[in-house]
């Protein structure tokens, strides 16, 4: 009677705990390897696309995957503190040189963006093994819907970026070096 309901000592619970710990270990180790992570996700996406192409089905699953990725992309491109919402609260972005500078912080950080997309492709791939989810649809209509949704969403996002003058990428931004590295490089020149 003592062992009923207590699964903490069971082999399944121990295996799940060990797997979870090992998975988190490798996930943590992959954090600094951005390019490798994205290349792996790209390979996973290509495997999914090839599977859908050869099966010639699961277009609704692919459409749902596309909508989910678009939603993640909007979170990735949006600032954590939305200026439109802050304007309602009375706070706003700096308009003068003397105003406080707020760096761009994403609503969805890059690592979480990558992880969510990777999980989405894995789930979509697994869903392609269930024939009940292969709903017959005319896929060009879904593709057109998705393209229209993408264009309208990106247009709105780009207008938001222009209006509040932020760029969610490091392209063209000035980078500063630390005092230690600039001091050591000036000593090396002497």
pLDDT tens digits for range 171-182: 665 666 666 655
Asked if residue 70 is part of any domain, the answer here is yes
pLDDT at 53: 94
Residue 81 lies in a domain: yes
Per residue in 37-93, pLDDT (tens digit) is 999 999 999 999 999 999 999 999 999 999 999 999 999 988 888 776 666 655 555
187 assigned to some structural domain: no
Answer yes or no: pTM beyond 0.85. no
What is the enclosing helix (H) or strand (E) of 19? helix 11-30
Q: What's the number of domains the chain is made of?
A: 1
C-alpha span between 50 and 54 (Å, rounded): 6
Q: Is residue 41 part of a domain?
A: yes
Q: CA nearest 74: which of 107, 100, 49, 115?
A: 107
Residue 98 within any structural domain of the chain: no
| Within a domain: 181 | no
- Residue 169 pLDDT: 74
Range of the domain at 82: 18-86+104-164
Inside any domain, residue 99: no
4 assigned to some structural domain: no
């Amino acid at each position: 009677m003592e062992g009923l309901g207590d699964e903490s000592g069971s082999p399944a619970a121990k295996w799940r705990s060990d797997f979870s710990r090992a998975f988190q270990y490798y996930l943590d180790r992959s954090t600094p390897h951005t390019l490798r992570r994205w290349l792996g996700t790209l390979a996973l996406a290509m495997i999914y696309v090839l599977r859908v192409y050869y099966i010639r089905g699961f277009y609704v699953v692919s459409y749902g995957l596309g909508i989910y990725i678009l939603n993640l992309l909007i979170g990735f491109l949006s600032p954590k503190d939305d200026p439109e919402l802050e304007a309602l609260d009375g706070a706003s972005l700096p308009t003068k040189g003397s105003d406080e500078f707020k760096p761009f912080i994403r609503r969805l950080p890059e690592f979480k963006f990558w992880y969510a997309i990777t999980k989405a492709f894995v789930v979509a791939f697994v869903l392609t093994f269930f024939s009940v989810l292969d709903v017959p649809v005319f896929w060009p209509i879904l593709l057109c819907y998705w393209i229209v949704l993408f264009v309208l969403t990106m247009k709105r996002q780009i207008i938001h970026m222009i209006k509040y003058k932020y760029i969610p990428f490091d392209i063209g931004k000035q980078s500063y070096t630390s005092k230690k590295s600039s001091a050591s490089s000036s000593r090396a020149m002497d």
